[in-house]
Structure 1
């Protein structure tokens, strides 16, 4: 198993808006660590290491959370579950960590990554990304960084549906319907022309009925 990123956090003993404001002013971010059994522990983490960790693992890659509590440290596999950003300046103001059981499957969202170049786009069509993430079920260490979609064969009016995508072994998408993820829409003038032809056909049909 590859060496995992480590992020140090400390137990947060002073709770509430006032202490949290003082933490942020000191370059710290308040947060909560939730373990796999549902228990939680208030924690605090330095802003810069948190930002660096998020840039590397995002929301879906396992890392080692080193928790300092009562003069001892405990290392737990975890995910950066949620980061809430300050609405104006955009810096992290709260973070939720989620402890995982490496032997149990979990449900996470993984981003798509497009590779190749669509001939339909070169022909004047518009490549439309309808979904940029997919929810999958797998064990924590099997979570892929991205799900790759090859668009090199897409012509105008072609689409890629979820069932067309190759998922890594042990990674199963969750869905109720086989929805489209990528499509190449026709040129605007072509779409307008088609709409005009449809309207003309409808008017002709109505006139014939009369």
Structure 2
């Protein structure tokens, strides 16, 4: 199941660009927690905590408990992170608060099992990944770290669709009404040698011309 990550945060009293700049001057990252029909909570984060999650990857499918000092611990998803265009440092974070019984829209990575022993790949086929992530509506308590598709029996030409996911954890795909493609085993690309190009007019004349220094053919038969 998806992991829950705790982040310590400072409280912010004022919103707006000026207040956000003041927070950054203190070496912190301004953040806001919104949703669940409640008033937004303003917070300030340690930039090292933000970058730690960015470097992990998969942060959009992780659950967070943001513990605001002097306030409540908010259970939420990290929805957006803004970065400075020059320094690439985080400058703002948006969290979405989770309400009881609600489903959340998340992107879950796809992992492929037995790729090394897949008969189609061993025969020269190529794994063509259509979707490295699948967007689903899921129970916050039951979001998987990744969906798994087994390639143990996949041959060249086979397609792996949503129905091939081993355990869907009760999630419902955002794409409704069809068993969409996730990956396929494509046939190897055969590159044929290109035929030699026919000589152009200039080359043809050069090929017919006698070599330099060669005697010209005699005219009119034998010399007397």
Structure 1: give runs of 5+ residues left out of the alignment.
193-210
Contact 1:85-1:91 within 8 A present in 2 as well: yes
Give the aligned partner of residue 125 of structure 2.
125
* Partner in structure 1 of residue 216 of structure 2: none
Distance between the aligned counterparts of 1:171 and 1:186, measured in 2?
32
Residue in 1 that maps onto 2:105: 107
Residues in 1 aligned to 2:185 and 2:58: alpha-carbon distance in whole angstroms:
31
Q: Give the 3 Å change call, closer, same or farther, for CA 8–114 of structure 1 in structure 2.
A: same
| Aligned equivalents of 2:47, 2:95: Cα separation in 1 | 14
TM-superposed CA distance for 1:170, in Å, is 2.5
Q: Give the TM-score normalised by the residue count of structure 2.
A: 0.72
The structure number with the bigger radius of gyration is 2
CA distance in 2, matches of 1:81, 1:103: 19
CA distance in 2, matches of 1:122, 1:85: 43
> After superposition, where does 1:1-210 map in structure 2 within 5 Å?
4-37=4-37, 39-54=39-54, 55=56, 58-68=59-69, 72-117=70-115, 118-176=118-176, 177-189=178-190
Q: What's the secondary structure of 1:120's corresponding residue?
A: helix
Shift of 1:53: 4.1
More helix by share: 1
How well do the aligned residues superpose, as a CA RMSD in angstroms? 2.9
Aligned-residue offset at 1:140: 0.7
Aligned equivalents of 2:186 and 2:39: distance in 1?
Answer: 48
CA distance in 1, matches of 2:132, 2:7: 28
- Paired residues, number: 189
